[in-house]
Amino acid sequence: MATAQDRASVPPGAGLNDDIGEDKRLAIYRSQLRIREAEQRAYDLFLQNLVKGTSHLSLGQEAVATGFAEAMQKGDLSFCTYRGHAHTLARGVSVEKVLGELMQRDNGLMRGKGGSMHLTSEEHGVMGSYAIIGAHLPIACGAAWRAQYKGDKDVSVCFFGDGTTNIGAFHEALNFAAVWKLPVVFVCENNLYMEYTPIGDVTAVPHPAADRAASYGLERIIIDGNDADVVYRTAQKAYANARAGEGPSLIEALTYRHSGHSRADPAKYRPEGELEKWKERDPIKIYRERLKQFGVGDKVIADIDASVRKEVDDATEACKAAPMPPLDILTTDVYADGGWAWRN
Amino acid sequence: MAEITYRDAVIRGIAQEMARDNDVVFLGEDVAKAGGVFKATVGLYEQFGPLRVRDTPISEQAILGAAMGAAMTGLKPIAEIMFSDFFAVCFDYIANEFPKSRYMSNGQTKCPLVVRTGNGAGSRFGAQHSQSVENWCMMIPGLKVVAPSSPIDVIGLLAAAVRDPDPVIFLEHKSLYPTKGEVPDGEIVDRLGTAKIVRPGRDATILALALMVPRAVEAANRLQSEHGIDCEVVDVRSLVPLDTQTILGSVAKTHRLFTVEENPRLCGWGAEIVSIVADEAFYDLDGPPVRITTPHIPLPAADILEDIVLPTPERIMDTVRRSLQS
């Protein structure tokens, strides 16, 4: 099983290498904080019974979504899982659209027809959040195949959890992408738990993604998924390789989920002290310190903090005020003609 | 006008659409260099090249997933699943992914693809290579399901399927591949959701699909010559969308309804059509609708067993004759 100690073998984060630049660093900080605040708000709204159904937060995993998104170019495509709020927000979708969907209001991304697990924003390149484990890895291959066939330069980036690596579609997609040399980047967020069960208890190898990379002729890549700079640099390299026609990458980002698997899960299965230990390496805390190391003033950081909080507050109020979806959307968009008729 | 096989019609249908539109691409197991296990894709690789006609690993999930990702982002893929029984291996895409992405995304995403597959029995392949799976697919909102019975319909309906903006399941019947039919020269494009009256008649309507169509026609011809019973045979062709207009029109004319299905009786498409007719045309009927199906068993391999499972012209004749004479 992957543990915190594995990070010792991971290349150190930023150090004081300033190749990323202050503007990008501030964007990375803002994005991570935006995800954190929006997801914490989603949790608060659950407790008020304003978010229904289920929801899967990725508190503590913000650096992965942010680092990969910040390295993407316009036109690159993201394929997310049901734990996809972070990846969707990281591509620039508004907090209001995401919270609106979680609250199943008419102002939501899909006007309440998709829900928390199916966030999609084609205009942002967010090509869907897939609630069947592993389903979207082959789909990302197909989008990458289109790019290869048409000579487009976009990359398809496919996020999934450690539990996905034991699904057949994972292996089919990796082999397929490698054989066809597709411009797709597979990102395994190893948060150490497959739902309620430690991934090591149910997986034959210690690193569920990286240890299998060789099976598909791919490089074994394990990174510190809590350091957004490390993630960002790794993403840049993988995307450049994909755009250059060198084929897919499989990246295992080590991280940790601060909350349970879903709304219903208090995560009592975690050993005592584990959460606290990982919270010392909270990606947002790490990044705030990083900014200070690079000489970013307290006021700049405080201003970002305040503006993100205001954005989330404003979005919350807008969603509370938004109407529920009208009933006439119930039967729209089953078929491409806009309707649901299956007979003439 | 030339007479060609159903198998050659598949090749011609795919080639027609690939020649017309560079966004049409084709993938599947053994489909390119080998020309397909049923030889239904011979020559496409040579004609359209390795970028457009691609062999895949035996990875049904990857085939359908990749087809979907390509369709969502601008291509018009045709994916082959060698035997329709293998739909079960990649059913997530058929049931959860293709048909639901448009709805869940409130119309943002699209999935214009075709899944072609060899469906049906008659080849002595046993229970895992002989099933008719149209009922698996028909019940899923968001899918379209087509099953042609003749070469001309193969080309026309395949063209319609490729040009359709929704995901279409295209069921080719394995036992029909060597059968022949007249096909005109030039481009052929049909319409989904249209049934075809393949033999007009007055006394009863027989609805059939795929391999059951020629069997129903043979039964109707013999009922006419041997018993003076004049049956109308309607080739349903498309289960979704379903041409209820033609079906109800035929029942209104003949007042009797028989459905001939090559699949286990439970929850077959014939039951759905009988239900529609009972709801909407009950007073047109002069007798109870009758379903002719396979029994609710897996398909056996031995020829003597497989032959008695599938509805035959004789069984169709006997059923119609006894029902009309009772």
What is the C-alpha separation between A170 and A188, in angstroms, rounded? Answer: 10
The per-residue pLDDT of chain B, averaged, comes to: 97
Residues of A with CB below 8 A from B276's CB? 343
What is the C-alpha separation between A90 and A66, in angstroms, rounded? Answer: 5
The interface residues of chain B toward chain A in range 206-245, judged by CB-CB distance below 8 A, are 240-245
User: ipTM score here?
Assistant: 0.96
From A139, A168, A343, residue closest to B97, measured CB to CB: A139
Does residue B190 sit within a domain? no
pLDDT band at A10 (very low <50, low <70, confident <90, very high): very low
Asked whether residue B253 falls in the same domain as residue B202, the answer is yes
Does residue A133 sit within a domain? yes
Q: What percent of chain A has pLDDT over 70?
A: 95
Sign of the torsion formed by the C-alpha atoms of A91, A93, A95 and A100: negative
Asked whether residue B94 falls in the same domain as residue B224, the answer is no
What is the C-alpha separation between B271 and B72, in angstroms, rounded? Answer: 34
Residue B87 phi/psi, 5-degree rounding, is -55, -35
Q: What is the pLDDT of residue B112?
A: 98
Which residue of chain B is at minimal alpha-carbon distance from A344?
B243
Q: How many alpha carbons fall within 13 Å on the CB side of residue A34? A: 28
Q: Which of B138, B161, B183 is the last residue of a domain?
A: B183
Choose, out of A77, A154, A333, the residue to mutate when testing the contact with B (most B CBs < 10 Å).
A333
Choose, out of B72, B76, B94, B191, the residue to mutate when testing the contact with A (most A CBs < 10 Å).
B72
> To the nearest whole angstrom, how far is the Cα of B203 from the nearest Cα of chain A?
25
The interface residues of chain A toward chain B in range 62-81, judged by CB-CB distance below 8 A, are 77, 79
Structure tokens, A116: 């928390």
pLDDT band at A16 (very low <50, low <70, confident <90, very high): low
Judge: B243–A344 Cβ closer than 8 Å, yes or no.
Answer: yes
Q: Is any Cβ of chain B less than 8 angstroms from the Cβ of A340?
A: yes
Residues of A with CB below 8 A from B64's CB? 138
Residue A290: closest CA among A6, A17, A62, A70: A17
The interface residues of chain A toward chain B in range 231-250, judged by CB-CB distance below 8 A, are none
Q: What is the pLDDT of residue B76?
A: 98
> To the nearest whole angstrom, how far is the Cα of A134 from the nearest Cα of chain B?
10
Does residue B33 sit within a domain? yes
Does residue B170 sit within a domain? yes
Which residue of chain B is at minimal alpha-carbon distance from A145?
B70
Residue B59: CATH number of its domain = 3.40.50.970
State yes or no: cis peptide before B311, omega within 30 of 0: no
Does residue B37 sit within a domain? yes
What is the C-alpha separation between A288 and A301, in angstroms, rounded? Answer: 8
Number of compact structural domains in chain A: 1
What is the C-alpha separation between A86 and A57, in angstroms, rounded? Answer: 8
Q: Which of B183, B218, B236 is the last residue of a domain?
A: B183
> To the nearest whole angstrom, how far is the Cα of B245 from the nearest Cα of chain A?
7
Does residue A244 sit within a domain? yes
Could you read off the pLDDT of B19-61 as tens digits, one per residue? 999 999 999 999 999 999 999 999 999 999 999 999 999 999 9
Q: What is the pLDDT of residue A263?
A: 82
Does residue A329 sit within a domain? no
Strands B114-119 and B231-235: unpaired
Asked whether residue B313 falls in the same domain as residue B210, the answer is yes
CA geometry: angle A308, A260, A229, nearest 5 deg: 50
Q: Please say whether the beta carbons of B143 and A340 come within 8 A.
A: no
Asked whether residue B237 falls in the same domain as residue B136, the answer is no
Does residue B188 sit within a domain? no
Q: Is any Cβ of chain A less than 8 angstroms from the Cβ of B167?
A: no
Residue partners of A19: CB distance under 8 A and separation at least 6: A233
Q: How far is CA A160 from CA A166, A186, A188, in A?
A: 12, 8, 5
Helix ranges, chain A (H): 22-47, 62-70, 85-90, 95-102, 136-150, 168-180, 210-213, 228-243, 274-280, 283-293, 298-321
Host domain of residue A27: 20-322
Could you read off the pLDDT of A123-143 as tens digits, one per residue? 999 999 999 999 999 999 999
Judge: B103–A338 Cβ closer than 8 Å, yes or no.
Answer: no
Model confidence at A1: pLDDT above 50 = no
Asked whether residue B269 falls in the same domain as residue B131, the answer is no
Residues of B with a known catalytic role: 129
The single-letter code of the amino acid at A82 is Y
Residues of A with CB below 8 A from B66's CB? 138-139, 141-142, 145, 176
Does residue A207 sit within a domain? yes
Asked whether residue B55 falls in the same domain as residue B169, the answer is yes
Host domain of residue B218: 196-325
| CA B214 from centroid of its chain's CA atoms | 13
The interface residues of chain A toward chain B in range 274-293, judged by CB-CB distance below 8 A, are none
What is the C-alpha separation between A48 and A286, in angstroms, rounded? Answer: 31
Residue A67: closest CA among A91, A93, A36: A91
Asked whether residue B24 falls in the same domain as residue B173, the answer is yes
Beta partners for residue B168, in sequence order: B114, B144
Q: Which of B183, B206, B232 is the last residue of a domain?
A: B183
Judge: A175–B244 Cβ closer than 8 Å, yes or no.
Answer: no
pLDDT band at B122 (very low <50, low <70, confident <90, very high): very high
Number of compact structural domains in chain B: 2
3-class secondary structure, A282: coil
What is the C-alpha separation between B36 and A219, in angstroms, rounded? Answer: 34
Asked whether residue B209 falls in the same domain as residue B149, the answer is no
Q: Is any Cβ of chain A less than 8 angstroms from the Cβ of B56?
A: yes
Does residue B225 sit within a domain? yes
Does residue B191 sit within a domain? no
Residues of B with CB below 8 A from A338's CB? 107
Residue A166: CATH number of its domain = 3.40.50.970
Q: What is the pTM of this model?
A: 0.96
Average pLDDT in the B188-199 region?
Answer: 98
Asked whether residue B122 falls in the same domain as residue B53, the answer is yes
Strands B238-240 and B144-146: antiparallel
Judge: A179–B57 Cβ closer than 8 Å, yes or no.
Answer: yes
